[in-house]
Chain A
Amino acid sequence: KQEVTQIPAALSVPEGENLVLNCSFTDSAIYNLQWFRQDPGKGLTSLLLIQSSQREQTSGRLNASLDKSSGRSTLYIAASQPGDSATYLCAVTRGNKLVFGAGTILRVKS
């Protein structure tokens, strides 16, 4: 059974700091991995989608990497801003099913 773990569970950083969120999964036979952002009381917004054949994806200040062999992905946020405060979730896809991690709650202090 696929299990997805996100570390840390919560993170508080000062504005401007670069930070890394971690996601690990137990079964490397995945189709893709996605990182999502969730604001309080809202739905999830897809940030980055990495196909199994790719190593990384970038969008603005966000960079996500994927290492299937070690079962790990990282989300790098450069020059963090208070508006980045949210919960970040990763999810892996195998077949037609997605498995989510519990998320990392990020707070960026101004």
Chain B
Amino acid sequence: NAGVTQTPKFQVLKTGQSMTLQCAQDMNHEYMSWYRQDPGMGLRLIHYSVGAGITDQGEVPNGYNVSRSTTEDFPLRLLSAAPSQTSVYFCASSSSQGKLFFGSGTQLSVL
């Protein structure tokens, strides 16, 4: 019953540091995606993947990298953290019908 698992739940970084947000799903979904949620703005798509080895950019990809070496895992890397990347990050996977399943989120602060 794990669904989509995100780690860590909270993270504080200094400007310029790098880190990886982890995301794993156990539903054998091909589609996975990363979003950031900022106050009053809903969720914005960062990157997505339609299967292992395939990734593409969303609406706000700058400053983030992704890879998809397995169906289960879809990590998000912040290359050089900036205060503008302070946000709540959500990972999601999608069934073949298009229903999205979300992780519980990572609250990131960049000082």
**Which residues of A line the B interface, CB within 8 A?**
4, 31-32, 34, 36, 41-46, 49, 51, 89, 91, 93, 96-103
Across chains A and B, the number of contacting residue pairs, with CB separation under 8 Å, is 58
Q: A32-B98, A49-B98, A93-B98 are in contact. Are A100 and B103 (CB under 8 A)?
A: no
**B42/A102 in contact, CB under 8 A:** yes
Residues 88-104 (chain B) with a chain A CB within 8 angstroms? 90, 92, 97-104
**B91: nearest chain-A partner, CB-CB:** A43
List of B residues within 8 angstroms of A36 by Cβ: 100
- B contacts with A: majority SS: strand
Q: Does B12 contact A (CB under 8 A)?
A: no
- Number of chain B residues close to chain A: CB under 8 A: 26
**A96/B44 in contact, CB under 8 A:** no
List of A residues within 8 angstroms of B56 by Cβ: 96
**A34/B104 in contact, CB under 8 A:** no
**A46/B42 in contact, CB under 8 A:** no
Q: Mark B77-97, 1 if CB is under 8 A from A, else 0.
A: 000000000000010100001
**A32: nearest chain-B partner, CB-CB:** B98
Query: Which of B44, B58, B90 interacts with A43 by CB under 8 Å?
Result: B90
**A46/B45 in contact, CB under 8 A:** no
Distance of A96 Cα from B31 Cα, bound (Å) = 9
**B98/A102 in contact, CB under 8 A:** no
List of B residues within 8 angstroms of A89 by Cβ: 42-43
Distance of A45 Cα from B3 Cα, bound (Å) = 12
Distance of A99 Cα from B60 Cα, bound (Å) = 12
Query: Which of A98, A99, A102, A103 interacts with B100 by CB under 8 Å?
Result: A98
**B43/A100 in contact, CB under 8 A:** yes
List of A residues within 8 angstroms of B58 by Cβ: 97
List of A residues within 8 angstroms of B53 by Cβ: none
Query: Which of B42, B43, B48, B92 interacts with A96 by CB under 8 Å?
Result: B48
Q: A96-B48, A96-B50, A97-B48 are in contact. Are A44 and B42 (CB under 8 A)?
A: no
List of A residues within 8 angstroms of B103 by Cβ: 43
- The 6 closest A-B CB pairs, nearest first, are A43-B102, A100-B42, A102-B42, A100-B43, A44-B102, A43-B104
